[in-house]
Amino acid sequence: MTPDDTPVPLRIARQAARTPDATAVSAPGGELTYRTFDRRARAVAGELRAAGAGPEDTVLVGTDRGADWAVAVLGAWYAGAAPLLVDPAAPEERLRTLLDAAGTRYAVVTGHPAAAALRRRSGGELFWAGTRGDLPDAAAEPAAVAPGSLAYVLFTSGSTGRPKPVAVGHAGLARQTGALAARYGLTAADRVLQFAAPAFDVSLEEALPTWCTGGTAVFVDDNLAPPAELEPFLARRHVTLVNLPTPYWAQWAKDLARSPRPLPPALRHVVIGSDAGRTADLDRWYAAGGPPVTSAYGLTESTITATCHETRPGPPAGSADSTGPADSAHSAGSSDEVIPLGLPLEGVRAYVLDGAMEPAADDEAGELYLAGPCLARGYHGRPALTAERFVADPFAAPGERMYRTGDRVRRASDGTLRFLGRTDDQVKIRGHRVELKEVETAVAAHPDVVDVVARAVPHRGEPRVVAYVAAAPGRTLDGEALRRHVAARVPGHLVPARTCVLPALPRTPGRDEVAGHPRGHV
């Protein structure tokens, strides 16, 4: 079957024309039919286009999750522009930095005070908050976006201390959306949980395949926290599929093991990602009667998901039907291992290369490179960084590229990829990629800090970042006050969980160490 390169916004517009009265958005503040969703997005597009927004322009989406976010994203696309996905609750200084880095002149802003404060910026930016109301005269027909044009920009942590604006094209987004809709068997009857934060690209992965197949995106309440509170919500809203951060799902599995109870009856599939899962949690999940779980792996640079590993409940260990702990069948009593990364999605090429850029043999460790239409265009406005990470693909036609993931993996004889670790200092904090250099840069911005080293340390089975700092001569530092200073300027996942103030930071010539601890070692 030939992959469908039809851009996602056009698919959504066609779906709205086919099923105008079906529910597209179900959120705490109310519901939107496809007709209303489409009309409000056209209204946003009209305002943006009248102000000059068009192809290759970015539009900051500074809204709460829910209907406003959905309308703002689709409205930016209908204008021919690209949403800039940010956390509207981020400190204003951080939002200004992201706006400047992306060269953004337009925004749809509602909700949080930090985002609303950006209205005071000068320079002709458009900050249009009318994602509700009647269709104005300026309403626009959806723009005919080209497959190679800019679809969205999202920032990830930067190894140089600066956040990296990843620029994703419409062709890659269209391929990924279609592949996942098919992989999960989505139909108009599905009600898919919208759990991810607006600044996390998984929010698009949850919503877009749903809207392209006529289903309903069910937005979770921002105040919903523990899994025990999620279950009745899923039951009330008749949710059929959820996409959850792996640590959150793992906690859910452990809760079920401690307190067995029926799961929401409509729930038919669970997708997990952002961190490596464990087979012991699969055992707990399936022992509780949970539906099939797919573990998804990918990066913003690969247009979100690149590989999937599908699991299912297996026969009890030691039974006549048991063949031992296989990749696709995990039963009670199997050993606790890391869930594999699995196999590439349709159209994704995955290479495991050694230090000489040659293919590693089966079961030998190497760095994972991803290639194919899934790749992002690069880093917005940063050609040197793009050239460093998106390199020529020697195994494909001239002009093809591949992305260096920095992940160490090995490939089994059946093609299954297994995660082994990182080749650098990058860590995952609550599902977010965090470069320790960016943490250090944020801490070093304090005027009384003369030196800082950040490292990841294990804490209750999860990494957390500790910053070791030294004060400038004649100055004193309070660790908690320093954390508050950093928290006022960067998002929460870049704030050290703990700061240790030392007279000086001892280092060794061969390794960057603090108090005998190698930097980046977990």
Domains of the chain are 348-422 (2.30.38.10), 429-518 (3.30.300.30)
Render each residue's pLDDT in the chain as its tens digit; 522 residues.
Answer: 345 789 999 999 999 999 999 999 999 888 999 999 999 999 899 888 888 899 999 998 988 889 999 999 999 999 999 999 988 878 777 888 888 888 888 888 776 666 666 655 434 444 554 555 455 555 678 999 999 999 999 998 755 557 889 999 999 999 999 999 999 999 999 999 999 988 889 999 999 999 999 999 999 987 667 888 899 999 999 999 999 999 899 999 999 999 999 999 999 999 998 888 889 999 999 999 999 999 999 999 999 999 999 998 875 433 344 333 344 444 434 567 889 999 999 989 999 999 899 999 999 999 999 999 999 999 998 999 999 999 999 999 999 999 999 888 999 999 999 988 777 666 666 667 677 777 887 888 888 887 888 887 777 667 778 888 888 788 888 888 888 888 877 777 778 888 888 887 765 443 344 443 333 322
Strand duo 82-85 + 150-156: pairing? parallel
Q: How far apart are CA 286 and CA 265, in angstroms?
A: 15
- Is residue 331 classed exposed, middle or buried when 0-12, 13-18 and 19+ CB atoms within 10 A define those classes? buried
CA distances from 58 to 61, 99, 105, 151 (A): 9, 9, 7, 9
Question: Roughly how many angstroms between the first and final C-alpha of the chain, as a whole number?
Answer: 44
Find out whether 148 and 170 touch, Cβ atoms under 8 Å.
Answer: yes
Find out whether 470 and 504 touch, Cβ atoms under 8 Å.
Answer: yes
> CA 157, 368, 393, 204: dihedral to nearest 10 degrees?
-50
